[in-house]
Amino acid sequence: MAWAGRGGQRVGLVALLAGVVALQAGCSNDTGQTPVTDASGSLVTDSDSTGDASTAAGTEPTTTEDTSTGPASQCGNGEVDPGETCDDGNLDNSDACLNGCVLAVCGDGFVQSGAEECDDGNRDNSDTCTAQCQPARCGDGFVQLGAEACDDGNSQDDDGCTIACEVAPVMLCGNGKVDDGEQCDDGNTLDDDNCLSSCVPYSCGDGFTHAVFEECDDANLSTDDGCIECMAAYCGDGYLWPDMEACDDGNLDNNDDCLVDCSQASCGDGFVHNSDEVCDDGVNDGSYGGCARAAPRSGRTAATARSSRTSRPATTATSSRSTAATTSARRSCPPSA
């Protein structure tokens, strides 16, 4: 290029410098660095450079295995594996090992056969199944909502809660004052005086022997055992005690059907039974027909015997009558022949 004159040379030089500056500005990046291009003229970025460098260095990508879920579960194989407390090899939830391989406990919601009567899966004692896995009942000490007004777990009726789990007035038996619901109150807990520890008067048949007025008290009104009307049974009381007596007519007469020792009258007992015997020598050996009047002795007639008896001296007759009176009229059997 040729410039005319000196002024033309200046203008041409300025234009050349401006073009060089413009060319440098268009070929630089934001960092003030000159962009790098590859052999094809494409712009090479930092990430491409890094990747190429990594690949060139022979570095391969790293992979990570997810082990958060652990090994596959083996519950039910019959062997206790890690993480299991039991493994009985079945899926039965009514035995000691549940199908989740954990031990059965009260409150797990499964009724364990032979160990639990119920299991509702909670620890609430106010429903139909207690926290001990027993059915709720009156007297267990837990108030069942909707079914019981109270439950104090005892068998007393005078403490504010009855044995039917109903609220009742509290009795103050034993304080020495007759309160509502009491018939007496002597301020003690004795059961052998006039007022029992339950604050009711004593009575025959209450099961407690009064220290003064009773010999026994078997809590019944039976008259055929060892305690009759709170008195000890005895022969002659008029009540038959089957295990101890054959009879008991309540008297001391040995000439009737029942002797004073409460045995049945019989020939040979030594007592003349009024309606059946004319004599009784105390030995039932068959003599004189066995407690029957003796026949006259051999060689004597009944008339002779009567004559002989009537011809005896008066003193003898009087003596005989006196002897008979002092012994007994029933001892009139003559001696054996």
End residue of a domain, out of 110, 136, 162: 136
End residue of a domain, out of 89, 118, 136: 136
User: If you count DSSP H runs as helices and E runs as strands, how many of each does the chain have, helices first?
Assistant: 5, 4
Specify if 166 maps to a domain.
no
Long-range CB contact pairs, 198-203, < 8 A, 24+: 198/158, 198/173, 199/171, 199/173, 199/174
Contact 158, 150 (CB under 8 A): no
Q: Are residues 88 and 110 in the same domain?
A: yes
Q: What are the tens digits of pLDDT across the range 84-101? A: 999 999 989 999 999 999
Q: What are the tens digits of pLDDT across the range 13-40? A: 655 665 555 555 554 454 555 555 565 5
| 262 Cβ contact list (under 8 Å, min separation 6) | 235, 236, 244, 245, 246, 247, 248
| Domain residue limits at 292 | 267-304+329-337
Domain count, the chain: 3
Specify if 259 maps to a domain.
yes
> Mean pLDDT across the stretch 213-234?
93
Q: Are residues 275 and 246 in the same domain?
A: no
Q: Are residues 259 and 273 in the same domain?
A: no
Contact 267, 274 (CB under 8 A): no
**Residue 167: in which H helix or E strand, if any?**
strand 167-170
End residue of a domain, out of 88, 119, 136: 136
The pTM of this model reads 0.36
Q: What are the tens digits of pLDDT across the range 179-223? A: 888 899 999 999 999 999 999 999 999 999 999 999 999 999 899
Whole-number Å distance between alpha carbons of 275 and 277 = 6
Q: Show the tokens assigned to 332.
A: 């009139």
Specify if 186 maps to a domain.
no
